[in-house]
Amino acid sequence: MQSESGVGSVFTIRIPVSKEYFSEDEISTNNAAERQYSGHLPQYYPEIGSDSGLIKKLPDHYSDHKPVLLVAEDNPDVRFLITDICKDQYQVIAAENGNIAQRIAIEKIPDIIITDVMMPEMDGTELCAALRSNEITSHIPIIMLTARGDQKDKLTGLKTGADDYLTKPFDAEELKVRLQNLLEQRKILHNYFKKVLHTFTSTEVKVDSMDTHFVKNLKTSIENNIHKEHYGVTELAADLALSRSQLHRKVTGLLGYSPNEVIRNMRLEKARMMIQKKAGTIAEIAYNCGFNSPAYFSKCFKDYFGHTAGEEF
């Protein structure tokens, strides 16, 4: 201890960390920090800072059991608070500013985003506008947080595409309810986009949005290649200029189906239309719709429609 009258005191505490200071019973070999990722995701990920280089290290695919929440907040205490509130229901990624959050959002496509308004490098309003103008991230629900609760700030945030607005200090339960409500609203849109996606049915498209254009491009790519047996997720991702993981996150976020399921379902929709028009035998139609086995086609058809292909005649 160092102490000087009228100035103050300095206390120094030394904590031994070397193994020689501990007995074998006191040393744990089950160090979570040393375990490698094995398919079981932690409840939340380390914070992503400007010099951390962790963005590429995040898993390409996430658990289906918990939605992925991206938090953009420059205040470390608030970042920790939101992570602590949400870690049981969400897989949380925390970023210290909007610029980093934008990179994560494009790379990993979270299910929902919470962003502060006032941040360095890129503020929440700029982040929201950037994500809404990008086809990859345009569908993600966004909640904006701010310490300034006047009407002008709220309108500015909402005009740039924020889905909800919450003023600091916020109630933990209210935050969780607002997050859940936005995810439920997103599920309602799944049905709309599924109708747009149905290949060979006439659907009136009333909403001209970036997400609608994405689904139309998705639909066109699959339609143009539906007869190709080996046309799959890799080829579809290349057609849409996305990585496989970006395609997976975008499609499941919009439709609630994986890209594989979308391709298979569209093949089945096409086959059903051809069967109803008696455009060939069931085996011929199966091959024309990209199935390499009539038996597998029959199984998929019954699983999807609830009855056999022969009952369509």
pLDDT number for residue 207: 52
Interstrand relation of 112-116 and 142-146 (parallel, antiparallel or unpaired): parallel
Of 135, 153, 187, the one marking the end of a domain is 187
Give yes or no: residues 54 and 164 share one domain: yes
Domain count, the chain: 2
Specify if 13 maps to a domain: no
Give yes or no: residues 177 and 300 share one domain: no
CB atoms within 10 A of CB 125: 22
Give yes or no: residues 239 and 182 share one domain: no
pLDDT number for residue 182: 92
Specify if 5 maps to a domain: no
Give yes or no: residues 97 and 183 share one domain: yes
Give yes or no: residues 169 and 268 share one domain: no
Give yes or no: residues 121 and 252 share one domain: no
Domain residues for 88? 40-187
Say which residues have a Cβ less than 8 Å from residue 312's Cβ, sequence separation at least 6: 272, 275, 276
Specify if 34 maps to a domain: no
Of 187, 215, 232, the one marking the end of a domain is 187
**In tens digits, what is the pLDDT along the chain, a chain of 313 residues?**
677 777 677 777 777 766 666 777 666 654 433 333 333 333 344 455 544 444 444 555 555 578 999 999 999 999 999 999 999 999 999 999 999 999 999 998 999 999 998 898 899 999 999 999 999 999 999 999 887 666 676 677 677 778 998 888 889 999 999 999 999 888 877 777 777 666 555 445 555 678 888 988 999 999 999 999 999 999 999 999 999 999 999 998 888 889 999 999 999 999 999 998 899 999 999 999 999 999 999 999 999 989 988 887 6
Give yes or no: residues 202 and 183 share one domain: no
Give yes or no: residues 46 and 178 share one domain: yes
The distance in angstroms from the start CA to the end CA of the chain is: 91
Give yes or no: residues 172 and 95 share one domain: yes
Whole-angstrom Cα distance, residue 153 to residue 123?
Answer: 13
CB atoms within 10 A of CB 12: 6
pLDDT number for residue 202: 47
Both tokens assigned to 14: 């030394």
Specify if 223 maps to a domain: yes
**CATH number for the domain including 285?**
1.10.10.60
Give yes or no: residues 128 and 105 share one domain: yes
**CATH number for the domain including 93?**
3.40.50.2300
Select from 254, 271, 98, 247 the least CA-distant residue to 190: 254
Of 168, 187, 206, the one marking the end of a domain is 187
The interaxial angle of helices 244-255 and 259-276, nearest 10 deg, is 60
Specify if 32 maps to a domain: no
Give yes or no: residues 181 and 46 share one domain: yes
Specify if 176 maps to a domain: yes
Specify if 113 maps to a domain: yes
Specify if 120 maps to a domain: yes
Both tokens assigned to 183: 């995810």
Give yes or no: residues 134 and 234 share one domain: no
* Full-model pTM: 0.71
